[in-house]
Amino acid sequence: MPAGGAADDGGAGRREERERGRERALGRRERDILALERRGFPGPGAKERAIREELGLSPVRYYQLLNALLDDTRALAHDPVTVNRLRRIRETRRAER
């Protein structure tokens, strides 16, 4: 038995832990979307241009992905300030409708 008194599970426990970590982690595109949302843009067309040039997405698709990210607990864990700010904005706009 290893020190600590527990039987060695052959690394299965560590493997399961790594797999759970991968499930929890955001993908590169999701992290890039949140990073773009943290930035300020000087004018109305600048953000849309950055979306197309940096992410290779249409603005419509970008906002669809962003909206889904706001409901993703992984996004909240990754960037709580940005996600909570965007959730508040979304709720305010929904309430105005």
Q: Where are the alpha helices (DSSP H) in the chain?
A: 12-24, 28-38, 44-50, 59-69, 73-78, 80-96
Question: Distance of alpha carbon 7 from its chain centroid, rounded?
Answer: 37
Q: Once rounded to an integer, what is the mean pLDDT over residues 13-35?
A: 75
- Whole-prediction pTM value? 0.73
What is the Cα–Cα distance from 20 to 75, expressed in whole angstroms?
Answer: 16
Which of 10-14, 36-40, 63-67, 74-78 is predicted with the least confidence, judged by mean pLDDT? Answer: 10-14
CA–CA distance from 70 to each of 11, 12, 44, 65, 76 (Å)? Answer: 35, 33, 22, 9, 7
- Mean pLDDT over all residues of the chain? 86
Q: What is the pLDDT of residues 3-15, one digit of tens each?
A: 555 555 556 656 5
Per-residue pLDDT at 29 exceeds 60: yes
Per-residue pLDDT at 56 exceeds 60: yes
Q: What pLDDT is attached to residue 44?
A: 80
